[in-house]
């Protein structure tokens, strides 16, 4: 799970409004961070809370502050480095998505500089960049750069 861009409180000891709850931080500080949910609890107000580990601390966070994937706009100049990897290049969506269509291998573009406009983190924790390659918008695994 990823922390989305909502602005929720993160609480030590117990969820918000529960006895002993102490605000630690805001989810805005951790937007896009992948976390593991270790416990789920519904409070008397009907809010579902997740217990997660952030900064080596066990924190309670409203379940609405999470998403299985995360996407953000970026503006990065990156260089394909596929001397030791052979990643796919995908149209429409990253690998694993039903719409993804493999059109090439990064081996053919080793050393080429491209501009990334989006970053997508999938449910497995793999990060993908949407880049402009030969006037096509394609998805490439971040580890290929």
Question: Structural domains in the chain?
Answer: 2-67 (2.30.30), 70-144 (2.30.30.170)
Beta strands (DSSP E) in 4-100 are 9-12, 22-26, 37-42, 48-54, 57-62, 66-67, 70-79, 88-91
**C-beta atoms surrounding 2 within 10 Å:** 21
d(CA 85, CA 26): 38
pLDDT given for residue 42 in this prediction: 96
Q: What is the pLDDT of residue 38?
A: 96
Question: Which parts of the chain sit beneath pLDDT 70?
Answer: none
Query: pTM for the whole thing?
Result: 0.80
Q: What span, in angstroms and rounded, lies between the C-alpha atoms of 9 and 50?
A: 12
Report the C-alpha gap between 135 and 77 in whole angstroms.
Answer: 15
User: What are 33's two structure tokens?
Assistant: 């961070």
- Note the pLDDT of residue 132: 97
Q: What pLDDT is stored for residue 83 in this prediction?
A: 87
Neighbours of 45 (CB within 10 A): 8
């Amino acid at each position: 799970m990823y922390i989305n861009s909502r602005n929720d409180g993160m609480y030590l000891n117990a969820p918000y409004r529960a006895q002993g709850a102490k605000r630690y931080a805001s989810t805005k500080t951790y937007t896009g961070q992948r976390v593991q949910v270790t416990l789920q609890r519904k409070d008397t107000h009907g809010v579902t809370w997740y217990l997660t580990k952030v900064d080596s601390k066990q924190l309670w966070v409203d379940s609405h502050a999470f998403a299985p994937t995360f996407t953000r706009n970026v503006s990065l100049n990156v260089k394909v480095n596929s001397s030791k990897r052979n990643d796919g290049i995908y149209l429409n969506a990253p690998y694993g998505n039903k719409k993804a269509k493999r059109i090439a291998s990064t081996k053919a573009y080793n050393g080429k500089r491209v501009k990334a406009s989006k970053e997508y983190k999938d449910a497995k924790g793999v990060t993908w960049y949407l880049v402009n390659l030969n006037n096509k918008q394609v998805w490439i695994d971040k580890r290929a750069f």
